[in-house]
Each structure stands twice: as C-alpha cells, then as structure tokens.
Amino acid sequence: MPRYQSKLDAVLRQRKRREGEVQEEFIEMKHDLDTAQDQLHRLHSELESALKDLAEQQVKGIAPGELDLYYRLIKHQYDRLEERRKALRHLADRCEKKREDLLEATREKKVVEKIEEKRKGLYLKELEKKERNLLDELAGRPKRESP
C-alpha cells in the first residue's frame, strides 16, 4: 500500500517555524512590557512618597531652600514618570502589533493544516475505493460504482 506523502510539508514546516519565531518575539516583548509596567509603578510610588514627605515637612515648617530642593526632586520624578509612560505606551503598541502578527501566523498555519487534512482525507477515500475494488475483483464480484 503506498504511503501518503504530503506536497505541503515544506510549506507547513515554514509556517510552523514562522509561528514559533513570532511567538518567541511576542513572549519577549510581553516580558519587556511587564517589566516596564513594574518600573512605572515603582516610579509612581516614589513620586507619591516624595509628595507625602513634602506635605509632612510643610506641616513641620520647611526652609525655602529645602522647599526648592523638594520641588526640583518632585519635578524630576514627574518628568521621569511621564517619560516612562510614553515609552510604555509605545511598547504596548508594539506588543499589540506583535500579538496581531502572531495571530496571523497562526491563521496561516491553520489554513495549510486544513488543506493538508482535506487532501489526506481525499487520498484515504481514494485508497479505500481502490482497496474495495481490488477485494471485489478477488472475490469475483463485478465492480461497484461508488460515489
């Protein structure tokens, strides 16, 4: 009995490889996004802490020079926070694009798999028909016309 040989093996291997590559890139990018979100939360906590500290110092009475230092510190932290927010938005956009690329690569692979599945099903039906005809011949029965 002849063995089924796929004509789409090379295409399917390429699609699977592409899906794997994109998946690895997405996982790495998602990890970077999670790390950036953690950094943003840390910076936000630091800013809140500095503001709370400033409020406590104002209640106690603070010298104008120290007030200026607090202002500069808070301004610097706020600027860093805004910079990280922009970078995070950019990274989130890139991560979303990579997720869409992964979905597309998966869809492309599944299309080839479905085509291959249909081809193999047709091959097996044809093989079954030939086998039935051969058995009919051996049994001395006339050939049946099957759908």
- Give the model confidence (pLDDT) of 52-106 as tens digits: 988 888 888 888 888 888 899 999 999 999 999 999 999 999 999 999 999 999 9
This prediction's pTM: 0.72
Work out the pLDDT band at 146, boundaries 50, 70, 90.
low
Q: Which burial class, exposed, middle or buried, applies to 108 when counting CB atoms under 10 A from its CB (0-12, 13-18, 19+)?
A: middle
